[in-house]
Amino acid sequence: MKKLFVTFSALLIILSFSVRDVLAHPGRTDSNGGHTCRTNCAKWGLKTGEYHYHNGGGSGGGSSPRTSTPAPSYSQADVDRGRKSGQKNGYEDGYSRSSRNPNTDNGNEGYKKGYKAGYEAGYNEGLKKVKEEDILAGAKSGKSDGKKSYQNGKKKEVSIDDSKSDEWNNAYRVAFIKAFDREKVLDDTEHLGYDLGYSLEKKVVPNRIANDKGLVKVFEKHYKIGFEKRMKEEHDTYQKLGFKDGYALVALTVASIDKRFVDSYKKGYEKGKTKLKKEVIREGYQSAFKDMDYQTPDSYDDEVLVKWYKEGYKSNAIAKQIKKTAFENGRTNSKYFIPKEFKVDDDSIALYDKLFEKGQQLKKQEDNTEMMYVAGIGIPVVGIVVGSYLIRKRKKKNR
């Protein structure tokens, strides 16, 4: 019994040490159930860099870290170097879409093992990167081409670029269609907004675009364009209509005109009326050069026109001065002359010449009358002189 107790106690002690070693010893194991010791190796009875098994790993099936199995012929540093080199080459092959080649003839078993793992990771990373770039590039080109295609009136037909990757072409196709459709929606929205604005109706955003801020912005922008264009056209139209009515002296009535355009109509009306007034006054002004006395034209049966015409006639101060001085100038001067201020136009010169000529004619009549008067007195005087001479001559002979 005592012997059995001693044997059992010894087993417990051995097991407690084994469990402590297994639990306390740090580090992850590989697929073989072992690893290379890196830290505190002497504490576990190992050398730094020595490979050993845990928990029955390895061909021996033992559980002690002190199992005397042969260490691998490479270190973790070899694996790390291989992984780094493999990752670099794998990334380049993946990014260039080359065929996978995860094997290498360089280095030991650990290096090759690390190279293969690193290559696979790098290849996947490079391939992922180039796919992402192709997707972005394809989407960018598709968006631009889709927009231009609609704007140029082309059909929604997507072409495939065989020189590009599947990712590029797929992204291009999706972006092209999306941009083409979006451009059509934008175009429809522009016309919708413009047409409503041009109709001068109240701005109401359609429900189908109310939740799309971009479309609402486009709608409102083109509503404003259409509205302002139509308003300008209407203002111009009513101003021209007002001008026409004002020039014709039509009675000013605005009851039937949209309140928004009443001012434009009135403005045009006043311009037309003012233009007519200037023309009539000018006509009356010119008539003062042609008529010695005021005469109302037969064509003017409107009191307003007569008033303006008479105003123009009376305002011609030059014609008054010509009528006052031209005749006297002709009567008192033998040679023709005309003051500079009377040379307004052909009509003013013609008026002056007419009156000056009449003055000249009167002067000639006066001159002729004076000559006849002088001649009538001179004949008797000559007779008396001659008679006296003859009488004196006879008297001398008689003596």
Name the band, by pLDDT with cuts 50, 70 and 90, for residue 378. Answer: low
Task: Look at 69-83, 244-258, 344-358 and tell me which has the smallest mean pLDDT.
Answer: 69-83
Q: Which tokens belong to 360?
A: 């000249």
Residue 45 has pLDDT above 60, yes or no: no
Residue % of the chain over a pLDDT of 90: 69
Name the band, by pLDDT with cuts 50, 70 and 90, for residue 369. Answer: confident
Do residues 242 and 267 make contact, with C-beta atoms less than 8 angstroms apart?
Answer: yes
Residue 255 has pLDDT above 60, yes or no: yes
The predicted pLDDT at position 73 comes to: 86
Average model confidence (pLDDT) across the chain: 84
Q: Does residue 6 or residue 48 have the better pLDDT? A: 48
Burial of 388 (0-12, 13-18, 19+ CB in 10 A): exposed
State mean pLDDT over 308-332.
94
Q: Which residues pair with 51 in a beta bridge?
A: 36
For the chain, helix, strand, coil in percent to 5 are 70, 0, 30
The predicted pLDDT at position 398 comes to: 47
Residue 18 has pLDDT above 70, yes or no: no
Q: Does residue 382 or residue 323 have the better pLDDT? A: 323
State mean pLDDT over 229-244.
96
Q: Read off the pTM.
A: 0.61
Residue 280 has pLDDT above 50, yes or no: yes
pLDDT in tens, 181-214: 999 999 999 999 999 999 999 999 999 999 999 9
pLDDT in tens, 342-366: 999 999 999 999 999 999 999 889 8
Residue 384 has pLDDT above 60, yes or no: no
Roughly how many angstroms between the first and final C-alpha of the chain, as a whole number? Answer: 239
State mean pLDDT over 242-253.
93
Name the band, by pLDDT with cuts 50, 70 and 90, for residue 130. Answer: very high
Closest by alpha carbon to 128, among 156, 81, 91, 88?
91
What's the count of helices (H) and strands (E) in the chain, helices before strands? Answer: 9, 2
The predicted pLDDT at position 145 comes to: 95
DSSP one-letter string for 153-180: T----PPP-TTS-HHHHHHHHHHHHHHH
The predicted pLDDT at position 370 comes to: 76
Residue 57 has pLDDT above 60, yes or no: no
Name the band, by pLDDT with cuts 50, 70 and 90, for residue 386. Answer: very low
The predicted pLDDT at position 38 comes to: 65
The predicted pLDDT at position 97 comes to: 95
Task: Look at 90-94, 116-120, 227-231, 381-385 and tell me which has the smallest mean pLDDT.
Answer: 381-385
Residue 88 has pLDDT above 50, yes or no: yes
